[in-house]
Each structure stands twice: as structure tokens, then as C-alpha cells.
């Protein structure tokens, strides 16, 4: 009886994943195995249901890994992967360095102030993401707010727009709540007496932090890092608006293949390969016993 | 100033939180090697007093002397005072051995390992050294907490409600073990508890606290049999507060009440059978009087409605009006 009910409860997320993840993913996977064609839609083979089993057989015979072979042959794609992972990795690191003190600071506040501060962290979401990134253009552009401020202080202007630094800035700004909230959740749950026990047993405040608070917050660090790293690796809007043509990231490669080159199979293959590059290491990490605390 | 034999002296210590005075000008001495209990209802300031001694709070007024040195401004990690926390506060990410070794960072590795082994043996947990706290029973966790606090050889061990999280049977066993351990180590134990039975059973001396003050301090028998105030009498077990013929009041413990042939006339109103003894409520002209009498094999307790005479020792302690 109890097991039946728990199965029923698993059905809903299962159904959700099937409709909105598994099915679209299979479509993309199928596309990535097709060949680009000057047609509408712009790829072959097409599945012809009217021919029955023979149609399905022809369809499957028409699928191949040619597109993937093309990906490995062209340096552009590899460079885009490496640069995407590097930028997302750097941004994740900065997010941790910025987000951890914020989350930790909030947990040290009295409960009422805490709620307000958590609200303040989420508040930017009330404005459209696109508008917030556009606002950064106005700040960073050569005659923008930043340079006006620097000029006012008698400092030389900087040209940040259309650089990797601008992309990092935009990513950190946009993803900060996704880092702060999981960190806050684990830190807020932590029993304050654990730190007292550490202090009582001879630890300075700094040692108590590194031997007790931080190790116990690792699940939050992992959650925040994954929550930020994965979407950032495929991020399109931020590099497109702030990165200029210099910044090579996969989101833009996918966009170019789809819309500029009308090469749907290539765009799909890049997307599938990115998913593989992100999911496989995470699965390996999760499998490793003892890596994740409790 | 510092009397020889005193390990700790609180001198006029006051601690306020906002406009609430948790500890109000307390002066108190704890003797070297004794089992001392701070007893009182919740909110009486006993926990704050312990936290002041551990270093988690700093006094607003007064001095706290440890071995004659004022430690009031010293942070907790600089004090040779360790605490066994209420519900233990074991580090969930460390093993039993790791928890016990936590306070031994200053020692050379080999010595620390020896100390951990010694502590594991002391609390009989050698076999569970590699376990994590969540894999232990409540009683085992309590022993890890004890070993962890004892490992760095503190001058004083503080125990915050040490038995509060245990079930009743285990609590009684552990009480005895704690006392035996304290005797064996000759260490000063300061226990905070709201449970008067616990304090009476374990402590050499106890301080009954009320509303930020020490209401009475003394050996368990002294405080139980000669309570200084009505509040102390009522907090430490059951008591009848009865009019004294010369005016004023006396505190009469139920077990000293004699149900027999002489004294005040009364009628048994309620009985409760506890196996080893029976408790009675007897209606008298002085109001209901509670009595407790040991049961004798083969002799039935008095029934409800029985007419008895009630008397109590003439030297029952007088209470201030």
C-alpha cells in the first residue's frame, strides 16, 4: 500500500521529465544524427509513416554520426567547448567567493532581517533578465555610467564591454541568487552549537569555520556550483550582449548553426555533446562513495 | 580574595540581554574537585551562568576567577574549561575518533592518538571509533560527547543537561556512571539541570537558582531538608507548607508526615500506589496534607475514606514569611 503510493508520487516528476526533457532530448538527438539538407525542414532523413516498417528502416539507415565527426574535425567547436567550460568555471569560482560570504552573512543576522535580506537577493528577478543585462551595456559601454564615474574620480576610462571580463561580470551578476540560496539553505540549517563546541574545544573563530562550518556546507556548495555552472556553460544571452564577437561560447555557436547557417544537425550535435560533457562527470561524481556528505 | 580550595569564583556577576537581567549580581564559589550542580527552572539564569564560565557570554558586571585569574574577557578557546553540550553537538562529518581528537590539535600526533584511545576506553566505545555520530544510539552519542570534552584534560568539565536527551532507565544508569567517573578523575564537574532528582543524586553541592539569583547553596541534604525559602522548598520535590503554632510557616516533606494515632484529625482523600510506597492526600482543618509512606509487605495501604491522625516532626524547618 505504502509502496504503491510512493510509486504514484514518483509518477508526476517522471511524467514531467518524460514530456519536457526526455522527449525533446530524443528529438534533438535524432536531429544530431541526421544530415543537413537544402530543404524544408533542412535535414534528412525524414520519417515517412505511410511506408510503414520499410519507412522506419530507411529512416534508421539514414542516421549516422557524420555530424559528430565534423565537430571533432573543426577546431572551432573544441575551442568553443573549452572556452565555455573555462568561462563557466571561472564564473562559478567567483560566484562562490562572492556568494558564500553573502549567504554566511545573512545567517548571522537576526531572523527578521534575515528574511528581508533573502528577499533582497531574489528581488532582481522581479525585473526581466534581458533588461538587466541590457542595463549592463549602458553601464559598461565606453561612454557609459562606469566611465562617467571613473572620470568623475579623475581615473582613466576602461573599455570593458565586448570582453570576457564583461561576460564574467554579467554571469556573476545574473546567477548570484542561484549560488546564494542553496548556500543559505545549508548554512541556516546548521546547528550554531557546533561552532560553539569547536570554539569550546580550543578552535579560533577561523579554525572553527574551516573545520566545522565549511565542511558541513559542502552539499550547498556543490548544489550552488552545479546550479550555476551548468546553465552558464550553455548561456547565450550574456555572452551575446556583453561578450561581442571576441567571446566564443557554445550558446552562441548553437545559435549561429541554427539561425545563420541553417545547419540544424550541427547545432543539435553541439547541444548533445555539451549535455554529455556536463552530465557524465556529474554522474561519476555522484557515484563516488563518500564524496557527498550524508 | 581567592580562598584555597576554590577553583572558580563568580564575584558580583551580572549579565543582561536587552532589558532582561539573566544573571543578577551573583557571587558564588565552586570548590576544586567537587561535583557542583546549578539547579533551577528554565529561565532562572543557570544556563547563562554556565555560558559565562565557558566564555560564550561576557559579563556586564563583576569578575569570574578561575584559579584566581580573571577570565571574564577570555574567549572560549583560550579557557581550560570544556563543555558537554545539551544534545551533544557532535560534529556530524567526523567519526567518533575524529570528534574526540578535535580538541587535541596542540598535541603531537602520536600523543593525540594515545589520548583518543584512552578516552575511547574510558567511555567503552573502542569498537565504534570509526562510526559517524548518526550511526550511534543516544546513549553512545552522550558518551562520545563526554569523551570529546574530557580529551583535552580540562580544569573544569561543564555538563549542560547531560541526561536530558536520554530515556529514564538509561538516565539512572548514566547518573551513576557520571558520578563514578568524576570521583575517579578527581575533576571538577559543573552540571546544569532543571531536574531536582538528578541534582540531588549526583551533586556534592548544589545552587538553587531563581530569577537570576542564587536562592540557596549547599549539600543536597541541607538544601532539601532545610530549604531557605518557600520557593526552594517547592522546587525541590513535594512539600506541605503548614502553619506553625508560634506563627509563620514550616516546610514539611510528605515522607516525614506520620499517619497514625496522634495529631491532627484527617480523612484520606486520595491514594496513589507506587509499588515501593504509597502517596496520600489527607483532608484536615489545615487543608489537604500530602504524605508518602513506605509499603510494608503483606500490609494493605490505607483506603480512601479512612480516618487517620496526621503529625509531623517538631523540628520541621521554619520558612521566612
Structure confidence by residue, pLDDT tens digits, A206-228: 999 999 999 999 999 999 998 99
Cα–Cα separations (whole angstroms), residue A293 to A214, B112, B145, B186: 12, 25, 21, 39
Residue B3's pLDDT band (cuts 50, 70, 90)? low
Rounded to whole angstroms, the Cα distance separating A209 from A101 reads 12
Give the pLDDT of residue A250: 87
Under the banding of pLDDT at 50, 70 and 90, the label for residue A261 is confident
Contact A275, A268 (CB under 8 A): no
* pLDDT tops 80 at residue A289: no
Q: What are B82's strand-pairing partners?
A: B157
Distance CA B31, CA B53 (A): 14
Q: Are B198 and B237 in contact (CB under 8 A)?
A: no
CB–CB of A202 and B89 under 8 A? Answer: no
pLDDT tens, residue by residue, B50-92? 999 999 999 999 999 999 999 988 999 999 999 999 989 999 9
Looking at the DSSP bridge assignments, the partners of residue B259 are B310
Q: Which of A202, A204, A212 minimises the CB distance to B103?
A: A202
Q: Given pLDDT bands bounded at 50, 70 and 90, which one contains residue A293?
A: very low
User: How many secondary structure helices (H) and strands (E) does chain B include?
Assistant: 8, 18
Closest by CA position to A294, among listed A227, A199, A201, A220: A220
> For residues A176 and B116, what is the distance between their CA atoms, to the nearest angstrom?
43
Number of other CB atoms surrounding residue B206 within 10 Å: 27
Distance CA A263, CA A34 (A): 10
Residue A38: the pLDDT is 78
Residue A291 pLDDT > 50 = no
CB B312 within 8 A of CB B252: yes
| Per-residue confidence band for B1, with pLDDT thresholds at 50, 70 and 90 | very low
Between B235 and A244, the more confident residue is B235
pLDDT score of B2 more than 60: no
Greatest mean pLDDT among A230-234, B43-47, B144-148, B231-235 lies in B144-148
Q: Does A191 touch chain B (CB under 8 A)?
A: yes
| For B55, nearest residue in chain A (alpha carbons) | A200
pLDDT value at residue B43: 86
Residue A294 has pLDDT above 50, yes or no: no
- Is pLDDT at A244 greater than 90 in this prediction? no
Nearest to B164 by CA among B42, B1, B81: B42
Q: How far, in Å, are A58, A230, B197, B234, B249 from residue B230 at the CA level?
A: 98, 68, 18, 6, 9
In contact, A196 and B89? CB cutoff 8 Å: yes
**What pLDDT does B188 receive?**
95
Within chain B, residue ranges assigned H as helices are 46-54, 96-101, 109-122, 138-150, 168-185, 196-202, 220-225, 230-235
Which of A197, A211, A214, A215 is the best substitution to test chain B (most B C-beta atoms within 10 A)? A197
Q: What integer pLDDT is reported at residue A200 of this predicted model?
A: 94
Chain B residues 147-186 with a CB less than 8 Å from chain A: 148-149, 152
**Peptide linkage before B153 cis (omega within 30 of 0):** no
pLDDT band at B152 (very low <50, low <70, confident <90, very high): very high
Question: pLDDT over 70 for what percent of chain A?
Answer: 96
B39, B206 in Cβ contact below 8 A?
A: yes
Q: What is the pLDDT of residues A68-104, one digit of tens each?
A: 888 888 888 888 888 999 999 999 999 999 999 999 9
Contact with chain B for residue A292, Cβ under 8 A:
no
Ordered DSSP codes for A208-241? HIIIIIHHHHHHHHHHHHHHHHHHHHT--HHHHH
Phi, psi (degrees; rounded to nearest 5) at B220: -50, -45
Chain B touched by A203 (CB under 8 Å): yes
| Mean predicted confidence (pLDDT) in A252-263 | 88
By Cβ distance, the residue of A196, A202, A293 closest to B105 is: A202
**Residues across chain B:** 321
pLDDT recorded at residue B53: 94
For residue range B215-249, list pLDDT tens digits in order.
Answer: 999 999 999 999 988 889 988 888 988 888 787 88
- What's the CA gap between B280 and B306, in Å, rounded? 11
What's the whole-number mean pLDDT along residues A176-191? 94
In this model, does residue A292 exceed pLDDT 80? no
| Percent of chain A residues topping a pLDDT of 90 | 44
Domains of chain B, earliest start first = 6-230 (3.40.50.300), 240-319 (2.40.50.140)
Integer Cα distance of A111 and B15 in angstroms? 23
Q: What is the reported pLDDT for A3?
A: 61
Residue of A nearest to B92 (CA): A216
Asked if pLDDT for residue B37 goes beyond 80, the answer is: yes
Does the structure show a pLDDT above 60 at A1?
A: no
Inter-chain Cβ pairs, chain A and chain B, closer than 8 A? 59
A202 and chain B in contact, CB less than 8 A: yes
pLDDT of residue A126 exceeding 70, the answer is yes
Residue B277 DSSP class: E
Whether the CB-CB separation of A207 and A225 falls below 8 Å is answered with: no
* B110-121 tens-digit pLDDT: 999 999 999 999
Whether the pLDDT of residue B205 is over 90: the answer is yes
**pLDDT of B103 above 90:** yes
B190 touches chain A (CB under 8 A): no
- The full DSSP string for A39-89 is SSSSEE----GGGHHHHHHHHHHH--SHHHHHHHH-HHHHHHHHHHHHHHH
How far, in Å, CA of B37 to CA of B18, rounded?
27
Q: Quote the CA–CA distance of A69 and A66 in Å, as a whole number.
A: 5
- Name every chain B residue with its beta carbon within 8 A of the beta carbon of A192: none
- Cβ of B76 within 8 Å of Cβ of A199? The answer is yes
Nearest residue on chain B to A202, alpha-carbon basis: B77
Are B93 and A198 inside 8 Å of each other by CB?
no
Among residues 80-119 of chain B, which lie with CB inside 8 Å of chain A?
81-83, 85-86, 89-93, 102-103, 105-106
pLDDT in tens, B156-192: 999 999 988 888 888 888 899 999 999 999 999 999 9
- Measured distance CA(B259)–CA(B263) in Å, rounded: 9
Going by pLDDT thresholds of 50, 70 and 90, the confidence category of residue A2 is low
Mean pLDDT of chain B: 91
Domains of chain A: 66-287 (1.10.3720.10)
Enumerate the H helices of chain A as residue ranges: 2-17, 23-32, 52-62, 66-73, 75-107, 111-122, 129-140, 145-152, 164-189, 192-200, 205-208, 214-233, 237-242, 250-255, 264-287
Amino acid at each position: 500500500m505504502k509502496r504503491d503510493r510512493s510509486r504514484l508520487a514518483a509518477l508526476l516528476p517522471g511524467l514531467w521529465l518524460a514530456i519536457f526533457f526526455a522527449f525533446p532530448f530524443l528529438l534533438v538527438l535524432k536531429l544530431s544524427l541526421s544530415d543537413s539538407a537544402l530543404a524544408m525542414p533542412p535535414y534528412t532523413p525524414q520519417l515517412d509513416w505511410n511506408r510503414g516498417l520499410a519507412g522506419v528502416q530507411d529512416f534508421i539507415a539514414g542516421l549516422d554520426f557524420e555530424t559528430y565527426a565534423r565537430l571533432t574535425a573543426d577546431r572551432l567547436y573544441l575551442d568553443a567547448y573549452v572556452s565555455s567550460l573555462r568561462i563557466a568555471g571561472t564564473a562559478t569560482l567567483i560566484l562562490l567567493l562572492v556568494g558564500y560570504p553573502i549567504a554566511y552573512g545573512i545567517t548571522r543576522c537576526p531572523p527578521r532581517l534575515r528574511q528581508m535580506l533573502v528577499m533582497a537577493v531574489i528581488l532582481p528577478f522581479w525585473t526581466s533578465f534581458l533588461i538587466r543585462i541590457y542595463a549592463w551595456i549602458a553601464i559598461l559601454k565606453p561612454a557609459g555610467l562606469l566611465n562617467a564615474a571613473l572620470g568623475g574620480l579623475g581615473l582613466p576610462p576602461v573599455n570593458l564591454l565586448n570582453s570576457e571580463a564583461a561576460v564574467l561580470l554579467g554571469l556573476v551578476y545574473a546567477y548570484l541568487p542561484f549560488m546564494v540560496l542553496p548556500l543559505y539553505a545549508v548554512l541556516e540549517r546548521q546547528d550554531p552549537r557546533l561552532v560553539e563546541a569547536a570554539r569550546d574545544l580550543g578552535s579560533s573563530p577561523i579554525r572553527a569555520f574551516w573545520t566545522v562550518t565549511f565542511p558541513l556546507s559542502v552539499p550547498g556548495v556543490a548544489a550552488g556550483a552545479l546550479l550555476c555552472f551548468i546553465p552558464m556553460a550553455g548561456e547565450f544571452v550574456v555572452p551575446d550582449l556583453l561578450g561581442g564577437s571576441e567571446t566564443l561560447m557554445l550558446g552562441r555557436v548553437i545559435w549561429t548553426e541554427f539561425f545563420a547557417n541553417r545547419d540544424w544537425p550541427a547545432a543539435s550535435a553541439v547541444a548533445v555533446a555539451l549535455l554529455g560533457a556536463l552530465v557524465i562527470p556529474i554522474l561519476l561524481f555522484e557515484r563516488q562513495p563518500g564524496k557527498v556528505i550524508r | 580574595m581567592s580562598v584555597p580550595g576554590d577553583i572558580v569564583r563568580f564575584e558580583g556577576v551580572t549579565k543582561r540581554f536587552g532589558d532582561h537581567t539573566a544573571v543578577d549580581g551573583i557571587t558564588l564559589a565552586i570548590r576544586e574537585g567537587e561535583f557542583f550542580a546549578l539547579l533551577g527552572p528554565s529561565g532562572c539564569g543557570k544556563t547563562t551562568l554556565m555560558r559565562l564560565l565557558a566564555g560564550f557570554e561576557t559579563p556586564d558586571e563583576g569578575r569570574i576567577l578561575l584559579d584566581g585569574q580573571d577570565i571574564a574577557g577570555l574567549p572560549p578557546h583560550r579557557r581550560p574549561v570544556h563543555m558537554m553540550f545539551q544534545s551533544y553537538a557532535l560534529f556530524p562529518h567526523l567519526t567518533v575518533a575524529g570528534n574526540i581528537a578535535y580538541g587535541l590539535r596542540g598535541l603531537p600526533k602520536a600523543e593525540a592518538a594515545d589520548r583518543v584511545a584512552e578516552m575511547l576506553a574510558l567511555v567503552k566505545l573502542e569498537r565504534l571509533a570509526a562510526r559517524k555520530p548518526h550511526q550511534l544510539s543516544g546513549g553512545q552519542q552522550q558518551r562520545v560527547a563526554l569523551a570529546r570534552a574530557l580529551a583535552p584534560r580540562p580544569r573544569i568539565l561543564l555538563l549542560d543537561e547531560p541526561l536530558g536527551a536520554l530515556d529514564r532507565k538509561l538516565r539512572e544508569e548514566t547518573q551513576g556512571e557520571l558520578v563514578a567517573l568524576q570521583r575517579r578523575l578527581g575533576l571538577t564537574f559543573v552540571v546544569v539541570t532543571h531536574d531536582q532528582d538528578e541534582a540531588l543524586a549526583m551533586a556534592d553541592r548544589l545552587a538553587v537558582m531563581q530569577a537570576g539569583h542564587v536562592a540557596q547553596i549547599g549539600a543536597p541534604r541541607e538544601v532539601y531538608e532545610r530549604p531557605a525559602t518557600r520557593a526552594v522548598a517547592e522546587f525541590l520535590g513535594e512539600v506541605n507548607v503548614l502553619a506553625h503554632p508560634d506563627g509563620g510557616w514550616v516546610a514539611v516533606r510528605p515522607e516525614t508526615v506520620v499517619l497514625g494515632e496522634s495529631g491532627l484529625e484527617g480523612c484520606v482523600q486520595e491514594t496513589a500506589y507506587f509499588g515501593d510506597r504509597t502517596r496520600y492526600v489527607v483532608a484536615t482543618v489545615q487543608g489537604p496534607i500530602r504524605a508518602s509512606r513506605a509499603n510494608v509487605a503483606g500490609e494493605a495501604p490505607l483506603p480512601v475514606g479512612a480516618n487517620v491522625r496526621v503529625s509531623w516532626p517538631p523540628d520541621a524547618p521554619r520558612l521566612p514569611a
